[in-house]
């Protein structure tokens, strides 16, 4: 069998992870020196207030030793292992998974780490696709090839209340500093091959939502709205815009969790599709 492993930015609830048979390893975050493990969706409490009250908030990728322990356990049980992680351009988690895979399986025939180029709902879609392929009898190499194909059409767009958190995270690359909500304008960005790119802007929460939903391809049947911190008007507008444009689609709203909220800023919102 093929064991699937991912990290806690995948957007899965505990029940969903159990149903898919996916092992979710937690990323960690600390507030004023107190460390917390990121729990499954819906189990992180009022992390928004915790982060807001903190003077120093930091996050930490999954450590290689955590991946190595799980990989060895699954190999000992007779499984091959595929680990699908948050984009390597957003976190060191993929590199940790690569290091652990090389340590337990130098041949690369039974353990593989896959860079999703994504996170949140888009990472969830790729994990679900891996499960479908594995359940259909595909080998490890076939699942990896299938994910590489699926990754091209799996995207997330997102907007932030201001650019401060993203700039402090150091993940904006060559994007010049711009004021996010000046004159009530929200920046709309995406992940392209794992890195952040700016699409444009939307005026007000409704304009931002319309700009985000326009990026989803015609015929989209499954979408996830992610809110980072308390669910606010921005997430509501994205949900309504998605339902309006895709009335036949399944649109789910999920908490994006504290680790991503720290880097995007509380109040950020995302839209993912596959």
Q: Are 221 and 250 in contact (CB under 8 A)?
A: yes
Banded pLDDT at 168 (limits 50, 70, 90): low
pLDDT at 181: 46
Average pLDDT over the chain, rounded to an integer: 93
Q: Which ranges constitute the DSSP H helices of the chain?
A: 14-20, 47-53, 64-76, 93-104, 120-135, 140-151, 164-169, 204-214, 233-245, 258-264
pLDDT at 200: 87
Checking if the pLDDT of 176 tops 60, the result is no
Domain that holds residue 190: 155-273
Q: What is the DSSP letter of 138?
A: -
In tens, the pLDDT along 84-95 reads 999 999 999 999
Read off the pLDDT of each residue in 62-72 and give the average, rounded to a whole number: 98
pLDDT at 201: 87
Do residue 11 and residue 141 come from a single domain?
yes
Checking if the pLDDT of 105 tops 80, the result is yes
Do residue 239 and residue 257 come from a single domain?
yes
Residue 67: name the closest of 32, 29, 25 by CA. Answer: 25
Phi, psi of 227 (to 5 degrees): -115, 145
Alpha-carbon span 37 to 248, nearest angstrom: 37
Do residue 78 and residue 162 come from a single domain?
no
Do residue 168 and residue 234 come from a single domain?
yes
Strand duo 269-273 + 155-159: pairing: antiparallel
Do residue 6 and residue 136 come from a single domain?
yes
Read off the pLDDT of each residue in 202-226 and give the average, rounded to a whole number: 96
Domain count, the chain: 2
State whether residue 156 is helix, strand or coil.
strand
Checking if the pLDDT of 112 tops 80, the result is yes
Alpha-carbon span 246 to 240, nearest angstrom: 10
Q: Which of 105, 125, 151 is the last residue of a domain?
A: 151
Residue 60: name the closest of 40, 24, 36, 42 by CA. Answer: 36
Alpha-carbon span 18 to 24, nearest angstrom: 10
Banded pLDDT at 175 (limits 50, 70, 90): low
pLDDT at 179: 44
Distances (CA, A) of 237 to 111, 250, 272: 42, 16, 15
- Please report, rounded to a whole number, the percentage of residues in the chain having pLDDT higher than 70: 92
pLDDT at 26: 98
Checking if the pLDDT of 146 tops 50, the result is yes
pLDDT at 171: 59
Checking if the pLDDT of 151 tops 60, the result is yes
Do residue 123 and residue 255 come from a single domain?
no
Do residue 161 and residue 67 come from a single domain?
no
- Quick check: is 188 in a domain? yes
Residue 70: name the closest of 28, 103, 30 by CA. Answer: 103
- Quick check: is 168 in a domain? yes
Which among 42-46, 196-200, 202-206 has the top mean pLDDT?
42-46
Lowest-confidence range among 15-19, 133-137, 191-195, 196-200? 196-200
Checking if the pLDDT of 225 tops 60, the result is yes
Do residue 215 and residue 200 come from a single domain?
yes
Read off the pLDDT of each residue in 227-251 and give the average, rounded to a whole number: 97
Checking if the pLDDT of 170 tops 50, the result is yes
Do residue 13 and residue 116 come from a single domain?
yes
pLDDT at 184: 72
Give the domain CATH number at 69.
3.40.50.10440
Do residue 108 and residue 186 come from a single domain?
no
Do residue 220 and residue 187 come from a single domain?
yes
């Amino acid at each position: 069998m093929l064991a699937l492993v991912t990290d806690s930015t995948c957007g899965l609830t505990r029940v969903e992870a159990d149903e898919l048979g996916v092992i979710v390893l937690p990323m960690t975050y600390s507030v004023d020196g107190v460390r917390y493990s990121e729990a499954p969706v819906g189990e992180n409490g009022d992390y928004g207030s915790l982060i807001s009250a903190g003077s120093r908030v930091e996050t930490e990728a999954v450590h290689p030793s955590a991946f190595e322990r799980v990989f060895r356990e699954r190999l000992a049980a007779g499984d091959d292992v595929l680990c699908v992680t948050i984009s390597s351009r957003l976190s060191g988690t993929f590199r940790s998974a690569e290091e652990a895979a090389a340590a337990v399986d130098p041949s690369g025939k039974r353990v593989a780490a896959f860079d999703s180029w994504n996170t949140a709902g888009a990472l969830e879609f790729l994990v679900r696709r891996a499960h479908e392929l594995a359940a259909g009898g595909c080998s490890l190499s076939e699942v990896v090839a299938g994910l590489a194909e699926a990754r091209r059409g799996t995207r997330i767009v997102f907007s932030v209340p201001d650019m401060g958190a993203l700039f402090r995270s150091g993940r904006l690359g060559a994007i010049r500093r711009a004021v996010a909500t000046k004159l009530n304008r929200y920046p709309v960005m995406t992940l392209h091959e794992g890195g952040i790119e700016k699409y444009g802007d939307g005026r007000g929460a409704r304009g931002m939502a319309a700009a985000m939903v326009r990026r989803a391809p015609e015929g989209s049947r499954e979408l996830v709205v992610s809110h980072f911190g308390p669910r606010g008007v921005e997430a509501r507008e994205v949900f309504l815009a998605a339902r309006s444009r895709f009335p036949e689609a399944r649109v789910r709203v999920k908490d994006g969790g504290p680790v991503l909220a720290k880097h995007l800023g509380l109040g950020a919102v995302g839209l993912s599709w596959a």
